[in-house]
Chain A
């Protein structure tokens, strides 16, 4: 909007590509969720969009039977092993997708504005500490809100150049102050 104040020297938002880190897609029937939580040592939130943090492991509920698990590299093998041990009693699917997405962090006062250039969802209404599957331009992304001005966006690897190119255009536009 034309009323936006702007510091012409600063970038309108900060964009970082976060380093690689293990990531899994976890699927289990809702009735087996509790059993799996115990076996894997994770908290699996029951509501879509909710997140949990146990130790260094962050879990996001993406569907009634679907979670994304971000695990520190040091805990990766233990998670896989624990999954294998419990599989016979508690069938589930634990698929590594560490290389499928690349995560961007957008931060700064105009990060939210930048996201509204591509996300049809109500980004402002996304609460801090939650996340949502949405689109950025024509790419499917998962958008995490870590603070009022801090977001993470998981983008499928091959879509990343397009998403970054759009964000570059948005940055130039915001920098113009109009």
Chain B
């Protein structure tokens, strides 16, 4: 048994020891311990160094609000986690823990020189110290700050653990499994509601776990607790422990993180480390309790100084006495009970110093019975001890005057500045807070959500009132759900009621300017810093926070916000609500990235869509590129080919004979109904009335603003039926836009839209031999130019599959696109590939497709357009049905800025020296103008063209259509390049090859 463990106390299992190491030294703890309780059982309080001054620190709490005892934990390669709270991490066999923010060792840390130089590190020191010289910022100050900043080491290896997520719907979600939450959950469940009860601790009970002497319904607190939990299970309540409610969002959407495996010695195969729960609850009951506040005085941060409630928890829950000789400084009754528990367990309590002049007589009597000296009306003014507290200096305060100090020897100092209702989740919802002037605390006021608040979380104290309030909240939740609850009272004996006063920093007889009286332990913010911030002009608590960094550490000011506010309000001589309270934001406690990522790592990092032909491309060793959510074959390298060589070959073979391309990702929409033509006329710029069934047309879609949104070839299959194609990335957007117009503007039209993108697999065959490749496979359609000219569509059979066959081209060559039901896509592809062997048919990817279309000047929406390009700008005025009375975007095409002469227009560019331009490169008309130069436009597409034997580019240039033949200048990495403005139709401008 370790030195400070008390046999027979605590909820740990004395029969099961657990071995772990801390900073390389082996220790044993008991099953049920946290790292902090196990170390404290060995008398180890020193667990870390503070962030700024590197002061030695020990745990000040026993819970998730811990600011000091942050450690690195590890479970083998990739499983290192910095900043784990030692007060939360449960002991597991073989746990490797290490302290942080120290060098070379925790006991002797070079960085502690900062503590001696603390006068240099006052509030706002960053802003004051690093101002000049200006040139020092990049090379000296910033690297120095970056090296010194941060707490803990970031992991460097990939995290091998898995993470999970779940959605959960429930009638009532109760957050907090303490006295109030247990009652609320039981009452709600007995009304017939579905109830989920969550608590961040490994077991339910909240503060009852630390108060076993209280009796409820004639039972000891722990027996009552076990009974209540059994009743909850029997009532069908879902009980979730180790589960933290991290955020409370709109419409009762609450995020929970469940710690699934970190406490296990050896997690089973496949177990996730953590699981994020997305909960949608009809009613939420917040029963999160209250957080104990420290008192602010010089030296209130030495190892061994801890909250009284924490000491009570270590004693009762873990059977650990935090020291042999305790002293207590408090402004709240609760610390008295902690002192009594310690004294009763065999520790010596030297004295209780209370800041209040009058303390309840029963407490004073109970202290005296135990031989504890009572010092009412006292302040604490200093502590001594380097790596562990050795004494506290207390002084009487009479009529505002601080009397002479007196040292009280102790090896642990328990402090309590009262309790702050945990308002975090409530505040996430933007619920308003009310200032309780009597008790000098903020309480939840009006809620914007279907939410009840119960217990200490709304300022109540003592088990009797809290249990009563939990029942009330449960009844209210049931009633809000239209159910009837039955009251379930609980009679409390030996309750521990309590009140207290709210303090600013404690008065002292010494120089307040030299006091290291910490408000925020984690960010090393002192009372003096906050007063300095006010003196330097900060008026709002938001400014004070940012100037001093009070409350900005990972504990988000759980311990420091209210104390900081009290001091700032005092300095400003205002009431706290006039100074404000900083905003609480999710997550409630630090949350791993893994929990947010969930399943989205590795192969499921992001949804990747694949075509039916994708397996063939993969087997051929294709390179892929992402296009919206799809992965598409980019090019098909042969042995020894790099991308450049592969693309050049694919272009050459396609133009020489035949190429084939997987176009399955193109968006497809079936537009059907008696008003299909009218609908098409209204949506697209082109006229559709006279397009005969069996013919296709290039369609251009604008937004209401007149700018190009999408394009694609549209086939008319029958009088009332169009097969619309969209760009790959535009498929969903275009369908949404069409549905939007149809449902909101034109509900009178008898036309229906169906997405058929995935119904069809699409193979494009292009090249002078395309017809010869395809003809043997086609039944039911004559492919000759006379019977099936360019821009035709037919329903026939290809390779034995029912098909929609288009004669269209996105390459400038004779081209066909064959659509077959998607399950036949791969078979169609292989059939065409086999039929094309006599013609050396070449499978090509998206890069070759881009080059071939650029040689023809065909635009790619989103590459050559950017949402500000009109049909005229793109040279597509021919696609506008001039006689049509309306279409989406038509009126905008008359706007003065749209018809202005010097708009950026799409043109071709040929460089004089054969340089291939960079896409996105800026263009100037006169390279000799003074800086800053006027940019005339930029390059949108640029490729090496095999067919032309030189690089080609497309660009948007101001007034470009009127500048044919002019020279422009493009700055490139190796100097400015001269280029000539040309047409975008670089190859076969007469279009003879299409008609083959």
Contact = CB atoms under 8 A, between A and B. Distances in A.
Interface of A: 1-3, 20, 25, 27, 29, 65, 87, 91-93, 95-101, 113, 116-125, 137-139, 156-159, 161-162, 165-166, 169-170, 172-173, 175-178
A1 B272 contact: no
B604 A162 contact: yes
Contacts, number: 127
Contact of B759 (A92, A97, A118, A176): A97
Contact of A178 (B268, B280, B609, B759): B268
A166 B599 contact: yes
B607 A162 contact: yes
Contacts of B758: 99-101, 156-158
B368 to A, nearest CB: 47
B754 interface: yes
B750 to A, nearest CB: 5
7 tightest A-B contacts by CB?
A: A93-B752, A158-B609, A172-B270, A27-B752, A176-B271, A122-B169, A176-B270
B169 A169 contact: no
B269 to A, nearest CB: 6
Interface string B610-630: 111000000000000000001
Interface residues of B, number: 49
14 contacts: A1-B238, A2-B241, A97-B754, A99-B821, A99-B823, A100-B759, A117-B599, A120-B280, A137-B604, A157-B612, A159-B607, A173-B271, A178-B267, A178-B271
B868 interface: no
B670 A93 contact: yes
Contacts of B750: 29, 91
B174 to A, nearest CB: 15
A175 B162 CA distance: 14
B738 to A, nearest CB: 13
A163 to B, nearest CB: 9
B165 interface: yes
A161 B673 CA distance: 34
A118 B599 CA distance: 10
Interface in B236-281: 238-241, 260-261, 267-272, 278, 280
Contacts of B269: 172, 175-176
B164 interface: yes
B167 interface: yes
B353 interface: no
B169 A125 contact: yes
A95 B757 CA distance: 12
Given A117-B164, A173-B270, A178-B260, A100 B609 contact: no
Q: Which of A25, A93, A165 has the most chain B CB within a 10 Å cutoff?
A: A93
B672 interface: yes
Contacts of B612: 157
Nearest to A6: B268
Contacts of A122: 169, 280
Given A95-B672, A138-B607, A173 B169 contact: no
Contacts of A113: 166
Contacts of A3: 239
A91 B676 CA distance: 11
Given A25-B754, A176-B267, A178-B260, 14 more contacts: A2-B241, A3-B239, A91-B673, A93-B670, A95-B670, A97-B756, A100-B756, A121-B167, A138-B607, A165-B603, A166-B604, A170-B599, A175-B269, A176-B268
B113 interface: no
B591 interface: no
B604 A99 contact: no
Contacts of B270: 172-173, 175-176
A121 B610 CA distance: 26
Contact of B278 (A120, A165, A170): A120
Contacts of B261: 178
A95 B760 CA distance: 12
A161 B269 CA distance: 23
A116 B169 CA distance: 10
B946 interface: no
Given A99-B822, A172-B270, A116 B610 contact: no
A161 B821 CA distance: 19
A169 B275 CA distance: 13
Nearest to A98: B821
A173 B162 contact: yes
Contacts of A175: 269-270
B607 A137 contact: yes
A158 B611 contact: yes
B860 to A, nearest CB: 21
Nearest to A169: B599
A82 to B, nearest CB: 16
Interface string B576-607: 00000000000000000000000100011001
A136 to B, nearest CB: 10
A3 B240 CA distance: 9
Nearest to A20: B823
A167 to B, nearest CB: 10
A128 B847 CA distance: 49
A116 B275 CA distance: 12
Nearest to A119: B167
Contacts of B165: 117
A177 B268 contact: yes
B448 interface: no
Nearest to A155: B758
B934 interface: no
A169 B822 contact: no
Contacts of B759: 95-100
Contacts of B608: 161-162
Contacts of A93: 670, 672-673, 751-752, 754
Interface string B628-644: 00100000000000000
Nearest to A174: B270
Contacts of A120: 167, 278, 280
A77 to B, nearest CB: 12
Contacts of B497: none
A93 B611 CA distance: 26
B168 interface: yes
Contacts of A87: 720
Contacts of A100: 755-759, 822
Nearest to B272: A173
B235 to A, nearest CB: 14
Contacts of A92: 673, 752
B822 A157 contact: yes
Nearest to A135: B167
B169 A139 contact: no
B674 interface: yes
Interface centre among A116, A158, A161, A173 (most CB of B within 10 A): A158
A113 to B, nearest CB: 8
B604 A165 contact: yes
